[in-house]
Each structure stands twice: as C-alpha cells, then as structure tokens.
Amino acid sequence: MTRVAVINQEKCRPDKCGQLCYKVCPSVRAGRETITFDPPSNKAVIHEPLCSGVAICVKKCPFHCITVVNLPEELDKEVTHRYGINGFKLHRLPMPKIGKVTGLVGQNGSGKSTTLNVLQGAFKPNLGRFDQPPEWDEIIENYRGTEAQSYFEKLANEQLKIILKPQNVDKLPRVIKGNVSDLISKVDERGLKDEVKEIFSLTKVWDRDISKLSGGELQKLAIAASIVREADVYLFDEPTSYLDVQERVKIAQYINEMKSPNHTLIVVEHDLAMLDYLSDHVHMYYGQAGVYGIVSHPYSVREGINIFLDGYIPSENMRFRAEPIIFKKASLEGKIISSRLALRYGDMTKKFDSFELSVKGGELYKGEVVGILGPNGIGKTTFVKMLAGILEPTTISEPTEILAQMTTIDKDAIDLQEKAQESKIDEKLIVSHKPQYLYTESEQSVLDYLREVNPVMLTSGWHKSEIVEPLKFSKLLDSRLCDLSGGELQKVSIAACLGRRAHLYLLDEPSAYISSEDRVNVAKVIKRVVSHYETSCLVVEHDMMMMSFFSDRLMVFDGIPGINGKAKRISRVQTGMNTFLKKMDITFRQDPRTLRPRVNKKDSQLDKKQKSEGNYFTVA
C-alpha cells in the first residue's frame, strides 16, 4: 500500500490548536519527523513515507483539515498530477479519441477540472513529482502506446488549438464586456454566427449587454462562442447547467454533430441522461473529494453509466460506492400517495410589463413531492416565489389553505414540538424556500448559519443521519459561507431549507453545480424529510433522471417563454411527462436493467415509434 496525506492549508491553524497533530502522532513520538511546520506559513506538513497511517491526527484535528488514506501501490505508477506536498492527487487520464465524444462523470472534487486543465495545456502533468516536474519528453514517454502519447506530442509542439467552455458561466460578465452579437462576431472563425444564433435561440438577446443575461443565456452564449471558433480540441465543462430539457437536448445534438476526423470532443456532464445522449464512451472518476481521484478505463456509454450507477467496476474489482443507485419502476408510474390532504392553493395570476403567468389551483398531499417541469422563462420560479410570499399575486381566487396540522416526530427538537402542538387549522402558512440563484458575501460560518436556521440541526441524531451526512458537507462546518464553491453552497442551502420545520418546502433547481451522485443523494434526502415530517414539497428541476427519482406527481408549465406562461393542474408522473415531452418533441425510454431514463436519438426508429403511439415517456 502507498499512503496519501492531504492537508487543507486554508483550514490549518497550528497557532489555534497548539500543533495538536504533532503532539498526538505516534510516528513523531517514535523519533521520526513525520509532521513538521514549515516557515514562513508555519502550516503543517506530513511526510508520507514516514507516516504510520494510524490517522490519529485526522481524528484529533479540530479544523478537519487532515486526511490520510491508503491506496494500492500499483496506482503510484499511474500518477498524472499532484498539487504540491499534501495536495490533491490525480491518477490516470482519460484517452482523447479523435472523431469521438468522450464523456467524463464523477463526484465533485475528483479531478475532472484538473484533467481539463492538463488537456488544455494550462499546465504540464507533473506525474506526481511536484518538486522536480518532468519535461515533455519524459511525459510523452510515460504515455507511450496510448492515445495520450500522440495528444501530448502535438500539445508539446504547439500543434493543437484547444477551446475550453468554462464551468462557471455566471462569472463571464466580470471578465467580458459588450453585447452578445459583438462577442460572437469577434470570435467567429468558422462562419457559424447566424447558425448558432438560430439553433441556440439567441435572437432575443442578440443585442443585449452580457451583464444583463440570465444563467441559461450565459450558458448558451459560452457554448456558442466556443463552437464558432476553429479548433482541434473542444472541451465542454458542464454545458447543460441552467438549461431546460429542450435546450439540453439541442446542445447535446449539436455537440454530437460536431464529430469529425479533425475534432476531439471531451464533455464533463452531471446530467446522466444528457451524458448518455451525446457521448460515444465514458470515463468514471472516483476517489475521495479533494484528496485523490482515479480515472477508470473507457467504457461504452450504456455500460459505463450503468456501472457508475452500480458503484462497482468489475474489470478493476473496485467498489467506489457502498450502495447502488436504483430506479424503482414505481417511481415512474402513478404512485399511491397519502389520502390525507395537506394544502390547497387557489387559481392565481401574476402580470409583469412583458410577461403574464396564470396558474390553476391544486391540492398537495402529506408526504408528497411534486416535480415542476417547463422551459426556461415560463414562470416556474415566479410561481414558487408567490407560494413563498416573496411575490404578491396579481389575482388569487383563494388564499393557500392549510388542511393538516404540522407533524413533529423528532424527539430532540423539544421547543419545535411545542410550537407544532399549538398549531391550528387556520395557522399561518410556514414555507421553507431554497431559491434558484445562490450568492452570498456573508462571512458567517456554516456551523453558525445552520444553528441559526434550526438550533438542533447539528445535535439531533435524525438531522445528522438524514440530512447532514448524506449531503456530505460535515467538513465545511467551520468554513465561511462566502468561501464555499457553487456546489458546496448548494448543498448547505438545501440542508438549511429542509432543516426548517414548515408546512411546505420549495426547492428551485437543487441539482445546479452538484455531481450526478450528489444529485441522487439530494433526491433521497428530499424524499426522506418530506415523508418523515408528513409535509409537502414542490421542486423545480430540469434533470429528468433526478425528476423521475423523487417525483410522486408532476406540474407542467406551458406557454411562450418570456411572454406568457400557464401552469396546468398537478397530474400523474406518466401523464405529466407525456404532456411535457410532446411539447418538447423529445421521447424518453427506460433502461431495461437500471430503469433510468434515456433520451431517444432524434428520428431514430424508437423515437418515431413512440411518437406515432403518442407515448413520449415509456415505462419498462
């Protein structure tokens, strides 16, 4: 076994803990300088060859900044890059294939962005020798006999032009000024300006300033600006975030059609349905987030995604997840839900200067999760904000009525129980809302924030086991909210939303910025909390796989984006999916083994057959 020790230098505070890790280390007590504190930062450094691996320092560190893991020795021969001593370590690389779309999937912090930086040429892979990095000749020799050898030879000789579509498109207005048409015209090297304008529906925003664009519009702009440039290699980092289902399929179709003997295409994607649709083969990333990542060997797209869901790679005899992700057939059919009504809301409308929304009233049941589907700009977020009390409806037939008392089961939340026991049928509606866009400059710690949301959040055994631990952010408790990444802030915000006691939970796009594995964990947490509290929940979501995983019923929005929106009454999952997908002109089927939703290729035999039968969403 080889030992990997990683220290989060931002969290390491030896002045605050009295160098506790040094004092408790058995190797240090045995006379070996396993842990030192290098000047001038005086941060802890663990010398891995001397480490005994008992990990007492990990358990004793009050700031949760130390991780020690043991890996098979053979992986030491396959190190691609390491970020300095006690830094993140990436093993292996995906094999870039000319004329194919290579899909990358895995948890956040497992090395996908590091891979794109290496393939882009942002830095040379140091093969784990951060103190004496190799030159190109040695790097090329290391990958001899693989597709990476030819790739790095061209990269070293500056024979590759590489374009990267960045992950965080919301940061584009900070670095790019001007309007959409000026940017696209400036970078258009392939004469595709008019084509991408039409295909990516940029006509309405063509003359708009970039600083005025929404998240979805920024995403389409970033993809369009990448595609119109002439390049040998195109790298797309999460190209479908912020986009609705129809836009995701359009993007996936276009990327797939870019395949040619002159192009290498690599896509990082967390929406497994879209990854399945656009990829020719996939590599899985597994390991421990922020500590080490391992890239699997390539698999066919169907086999690879099914292996990813199983959490076990047979050819490598590697289990990287304790339990498989299972899609039950019942989750895609009309579910039998509680007959006890929880809430009733009336017909409502909302009028803006250039947009009008009308919503049909409906009823929500105890323990029910209702998915909300519809294209961008159709009024889904507006509806959620009206229920949350953030926006006042223009008209409403009747106020939202509470039909069941709030149920409290958690025996640790004594003060919350007393409040719940005092609740009456005519009590004020309590709503917990997770907004679509998350941004904060707060320097408050995650720990203090969650305690403020719910005093028992981090002491209640139920909250810890059902919310905090499944969402995997325990190590972030001492971090400031303003320092969190998009995915970390998303998970903390979801925990805060579900940690409150409420009659109704509203979550707007909870999958944004988080990995496919974490999306399933989020879906499970939502289901468990809503069932536990016997309350109701509405979730706006564009990830069809996640939607099918947690939805008991569906609410479909229709209309003309940006002009008018109409929300239909809540329907069965099968009915809602068919209604929505028929409008999108997209068909889905279920994988016979895993029951996961899969997009049919446009105009394929199966696509035509399902459309002719009027069955846009089949159940295996």
Indicate the CATH number of 2-71 among 3.30.70.20, 3.40.50.300, 1.10.10.10, 3.40.50.1240: 3.30.70.20
- Looking from the CA of 54 toward its CB, the CA atoms found within 13 Å total 10
Average pLDDT over the chain, rounded to whole? 88
178 vs 39, which has greater pLDDT?
A: 178
Chain segment 255-293, per-residue pLDDT in tens: 999 999 999 999 999 999 999 999 999 999 999 988 999
- Do residues 433 and 497 touch, judged by C-beta distance below 8 A? yes
The total number of residues shown for the chain amounts to 620
Please name which of 486, 574, 46 lies closest in space to residue 270, comparing C-alpha atoms: 486
Strand partners, 319: 312
- Do residues 487 and 513 touch, judged by C-beta distance below 8 A? yes
| Residue 362 pLDDT grade (very low, low, confident, very high; cuts 50, 70, 90) | very high
Average pLDDT over residues 134-145: 95
Chain segment 228-253, per-residue pLDDT in tens: 999 999 999 999 988 988 899 999 99
Q: Which two tokens stand for residue 498?
A: 């579900």
At 328 the pLDDT is: 64
CA dihedral 131, 136, 138, 140 (to 10 degrees): 130
Per-residue pLDDT for 334 more than 60?
no
Least confident of 165-169, 414-418, 516-520: 414-418
At 331 the pLDDT is: 43
Q: Which helix (H) or strand (E) holds 287?
A: strand 281-288
At 423 the pLDDT is: 35
Per-residue pLDDT for 562 more than 90?
no
SS3 3: strand
Eight-state DSSP code of residue 563: T
Q: What are phi and psi of 473, to 5 degrees?
A: -130, 20
Q: Which two tokens stand for residue 367?
A: 């323990």
Number of H helices, E strands in the chain: 24, 30
Per CATH, 2-71 and 77-319 having the same topology is answered no
- Do residues 376 and 437 touch, judged by C-beta distance below 8 A? no
- Do residues 395 and 575 touch, judged by C-beta distance below 8 A? no
- Do residues 390 and 433 touch, judged by C-beta distance below 8 A? yes
| Residue 406 pLDDT grade (very low, low, confident, very high; cuts 50, 70, 90) | low
466 vs 330, which has greater pLDDT?
A: 466
Q: Cα separation of 100 and 562, whole Å?
A: 36
At 76 the pLDDT is: 84
For residue 27, which amino acid is it?
S
Q: What are phi and psi of 65, to 5 degrees?
A: -105, 0
- Do residues 510 and 494 touch, judged by C-beta distance below 8 A? yes
Bridge-based pairing state of the strands 66-71 and 368-373:
unpaired
Q: Which helix (H) or strand (E) holds 396?
A: strand 395-396
Q: Which helix (H) or strand (E) holds 165?
A: strand 162-165
Eight-state DSSP code of residue 466: I
Question: How many CB atoms are closer than 10 A to CB 604?
Answer: 11
Burial string for 66-80 (b: 16+ CB within 10 Å, else e) reads bbbbebeeebeeebb
Give residues with Cβ within 8 angstroms of 409, minimum separation 6.
462, 532, 533
Fold (topology level) of 77-319: Rossmann fold (3.40.50)
Average pLDDT over residues 195-202: 92
Domain ranges of the chain: 2-71, 77-319
SS3 121: coil
Chain-centre distance for alpha carbon 386: 26
DSSP string computed for 40-73: TTTEEEE-GGG-----HHHHH-TT--EEEEEE-G
CA dihedral 298, 302, 306, 307 (to 10 degrees): -20
Give residues with Cβ within 8 angstroms of 169, minimum separation 6.
215, 218, 219, 221, 222, 241, 242
Name the H helices within 460-515: 461-463, 469-471, 486-499
Q: From start to end of 425-563, where are the E strands?
A: 431-434, 504-508, 536-540, 553-560
Average pLDDT over residues 170-174: 84
Q: Cα separation of 170 and 174, whole Å?
A: 9
For 577-590, the three-class secondary structure string (H helix, E strand, C coil) is: HHHHHHHHCCCEEE
Chain-centre distance for alpha carbon 12: 28
Q: What share of the chain has pLDDT > 70, as a percent?
A: 94
